[in-house]
Structures are given as C-alpha cells and as structure tokens.
Chains A and B, each alone.
Chain A
C-alpha cells in the first residue's frame, strides 16, 4: 500500500477512475457510445504521443516548447509530399527524418551552446511555425484520398476491430517506452541524469548522448502524432498543433512527472492525456461552452500538482 502511494502517478490514477465513474453514472448513454469512445481514443493518442516524447525531456530537467510547431511542420511536410505524388512510405520517412533533425538541432543548441532548453525550444516554436506559414503561404493542404488508402496510412490512421489504430499505437509505444525507461541501461541513465546530472556524469553516464536522445525522441513522437492525426483526418491548416506544446506539458505534469526531473512514469503521462481528452469530450457533450475547457486544464493542473506535492511531503516526513 505504501509502495502504491509512493507512485508519482497515484494522483492521476485516482483522477481517471473518478472521472470514469462520474461520467458513467452521470451520462451513461453518451459516455458508453462507441463513437465517443473511439473519438476519445483518437485524441488521447494524439495528445498522448506528444506527451510521451515530452516526458523524456522533462525527466532530464529540460522542457521542449517546440513540439506543437514540430507537430505542425512535420504534418504539413507529410501532407505536402503526398500532394506531389511521392509514395506514402517515402513521405513518411522524410517527414520523420525532419522530426529527428529538429530534435538534434534542439539538443545541439542546448548541449554545445549551453543554452536553456526553454529558450532554444521557444525559438523553435516560433521558427518552425513561421516556416509553416512561409512555405504554405497560408494555404490549406490535406492528404489526398488515394494516399489515405495506402497500407501505411491505414496503419496509422485506420482502425482495427473498430478501435482507432492511433490508440493502439499509443498503447504499444507507451508500453515500449515504459520498458525502456525502467528496464534498460538507457532508461537508468536518463533517470540518473534527471535526478542529479553531476553525479550521473561522475559515474560515467554519457550525459550528452542521453540528452541528445531525449530531445530526438521528443521530436520524433511529435512527428508521429502529426502523422496519426493527418492519416485519420486529412483536413489540415497552418495552425495545426498550435498550443499543443502546453497541453502536452500539462498532461505530463498532471501524470505525476516532476518538472524537477528524475521521477515520473509513462503510464501517468498516458492517463494525463486521457484525463484531459475525456473531460473535454464530456464537456462538449454536456453542452458546456468549449472555451471552458482551457480554464479546466488550468484548474486540474493546480489541483493535481498540489495533491502530489502534499502527498510527497507527507510520505517524506513519515
């Protein structure tokens, strides 16, 4: 029991159970409707993938504010390549390489330039978003129907047994990331770096390599999230992903990962994404004005972080 309470993600586990029970009792017809479930699954996947990437970066005491713009530029690149008759596979590979490259650039500025990741990625947020505007001239592009029927596009954007593939991908990658984080050397090095960088380095942890990988993973997941979005829902526009960086950070923090690094779980992050998505969906269903959602994110963030901090203090003193 003590071990369970010690989990950093205990708050969000309880929060999700609470939200699930509340909506089941309050509005069962709407809540247990298949289209609701599949919608929540899809949007949890989009936010969850972004947030998993963000988790790696936050775990090493850094932050990535560029993920919303990376999500945008990778999505626009993928859609743009689709419209110029390039095969889906090649377009996918090029778009994901772009994502990795952006992660690498972030890492180089942070490590070699010794700059704060907040500044570097804030620069990225503006730069890549601007690039989207410049290259598209503000025109709306989408993924053409023919490309959407390609096997690879179906793999990311289709569904299986009426479950959105994006959601299945989230579960699969979430599982792999959790295993990587807690059962491999890289994961141990990442946690050590987040816990105490000087100590990690003194024991021979290749800190620069771990940092670089964390930033690359973060951009990679942002790119993947964009592909999952576009192959499922081909309409897009230049503001694709705006504000997603903050939502992804909120999901990670509500999921129990500490901004001070070194502690957190992938499960918490996925539940954090589910929590926000489920509440947004339910608020729309209940006819609440959608703008309330933003205020709700703020309140939920404060409540959960306060509870987590109090729990941590109490456990420390016992």
Chain B
C-alpha cells in the first residue's frame, strides 16, 4: 500500500475492509468500518452484544455481502460472497455451536467437505483408510485423549475437545486465516488455557488469527492488537502495548465514547 510520504508499506494486509456498511432494511448493522488484518498477527475483536463483531465476521466468511464498501483478500477485491469462496481462500471460522456434525464419526467430521476418495472401477468411493489414519494422527497430535477412536461418533467428545478438534482441523488443512468466535465460552479453566495456547501457536506459525470475545482481560494477554466495536462502528484499533486492559475495558463500558480513535496501528 502506498502511503502519503511515497514509501511503500512492506506489509500488505491479508484482509482489508474498506468503508464497509451493512444495513438490514432500516437497521444499520455496520457503519463505515475500515480495518486491516495482517498475516501472522492475532487481533482481538471486542465489543458488547450487538456491536457488529459477528456481522463483520459474517462478511469476511462470505455468508453475507456488504451493502457498500470493499473487501480485499491478499490484495484482490472480493466481489462475490459465499461460504465456499472463503473456504477456498483458506479462511476458517471456528464457532462454538457450528462446525461439527454430531451424527458423524470423528474421522468423517475431520474430512467433511474435503473427503478423500479412491477409485474402484472408476467410481470414487471414500478412502476410509486415509480418513482413519490421517484424522487419528491429527487428533492425537493435538492432545486429545488416547481413548478417542476416530470411528466413534464425535458427540462423545467434551466441549473443549470439540473446540480443539475444530482448531486442529482448521490448521492442518493449511488455512491462512482462523477466526475464533468466542471459542472459550462454556469451557473449563484448563480447557480455556489449552484453546488460547493453540491460538497463540497458530499465530506463531504465520496465520492470521481473529479472536472474538467479550473478555478484554483474557484477550489483552495474548493478542497483538485490539479492535473495539460499538453500535456497528469501529471505535478503537490499538496495538496491545498502547493501552492497558483496564483502559480498554473503560471504553467498552462507556459505549465507545471515550477516546473516539486510538493511535493507528503500525
């Protein structure tokens, strides 16, 4: 990106949201939101209920198109919004309630939508051996119980194990962006620590991690940058070190009225 003084920012944002608005009829869900996300960073997306965090994520994951404004992925403008497009670009959204089908086995969930096949008389059948072996390796690498059999229904896993499973799946399919939508809700203290640890590892591996949460203190410990939203607008966008968690909490509590704009991120 060219800056005003003529030099070029060495880092091109992986995802760039520019002046995005979204309205449902008369309701303005997002108003003129502009934000950049870079590879290898973890961004905490914070705000109260109805602030527009999830709406923003729904646009990024291709579920809904914006009413106006532009979205760029790796420098290229996105004109068509549909979930498969986001998946093909290497973007995975990890949500509490979505992502795994309880009626399928661990292995089948692991490869859902990307099932490997083996041709038999020209007809593609599921490659069950590959499904079993590859998913077994991954779930155990990510620290799931040894007693978990990948042929078992995934419903047998605990909440934390399911979150870990989703992250493991997202990582091993070489994704570039992992969006975590309140990934630690309803998890025990130990499970929460494990999920956060994984999130940091993802960032260190060079992925972009967008972490949505209500808990400013939790995210302030691990994120590189904090973006606060309020009433469909971005009100704060600061590097972690620029403000304390207490100060950020104050902004959220006051409905974004405190310093309307924080210092620009590097």
Q: Give the residue name and chain of the B residue nearest to A316 (CB).
A: B155
Contact B125 A263 (CB under 8 A): no
Q: Does A204 contact B (CB under 8 A)?
A: yes
Q: Does A192 contact B (CB under 8 A)?
A: yes
Q: Give the residue name and chain of the A residue nearest to B125 (CB).
A: A183
Contact B125 A184 (CB under 8 A): yes
Proximity string of chain B (87-100) to chain A, C-beta cutoff 8 Å, 1 when within and 0 when not: 11000010101111
How far is the CB of B183 from the nearest CB of chain A, in Å?
Answer: 14
How far is the CB of B247 from the nearest CB of chain A, in Å?
Answer: 35
Q: Give the residue name and chain of the B residue nearest to A182 (CB).
A: B126
Q: Does A299 contact B (CB under 8 A)?
A: no
Contact A198 B103 (CB under 8 A): no
Contact A199 B100 (CB under 8 A): yes
Contact B114 A204 (CB under 8 A): yes
On whether A206 and B84 interact (CB within 8 A), knowing A184-B124, A198-B98, A199-B99, the answer reads: yes
Contact B100 A196 (CB under 8 A): yes
How far is the CB of A83 from the nearest CB of chain B, in Å?
Answer: 39
Partner of A188, one of B83, B98, B99, B112: B112
Contact A203 B126 (CB under 8 A): no
Contact B104 A203 (CB under 8 A): no
Partner of A200, one of B95, B112, B125: B112
Interface majority SS on A: helix, strand, loop or mixed? Answer: helix
Residues of chain A contacted by B112 (CB below 8 angstroms): 188, 192, 199-200, 203, 205
In the docked arrangement, what's the CA distance between A139 and B200, Å?
75
Q: Give the residue name and chain of the A residue nearest to B151 (CB).
A: A3
Contact B115 A185 (CB under 8 A): yes
On whether A188 and B114 interact (CB within 8 A), knowing A203-B87, A203-B99, A206-B84, the answer reads: no
Contact A204 B87 (CB under 8 A): yes
Q: Does A75 contact B (CB under 8 A)?
A: no
In the docked arrangement, what's the CA distance between A263 and B101, Å?
11
* Residue of A185, A187, A198, A206 most packed against chain B (CB within 10 A): A185
Question: What would 20 more interface pairs be, CB under 8 Å, given A196-B103, A204-B88, A206-B84?
Answer: A183-B126, A184-B117, A184-B126, A185-B115, A185-B124, A188-B115, A196-B98, A196-B100, A198-B97, A199-B98, A199-B100, A199-B112, A202-B93, A202-B95, A202-B99, A203-B113, A204-B83, A204-B113, A205-B112, A262-B104
- Which B residues contact A (CB, under 8 angstroms)? 83-84, 87-88, 93, 95, 97-104, 108, 112-115, 117, 124-126, 128
Pairs A-B, 4 closest by C-beta atoms: A195-B103, A195-B101, A204-B113, A262-B103
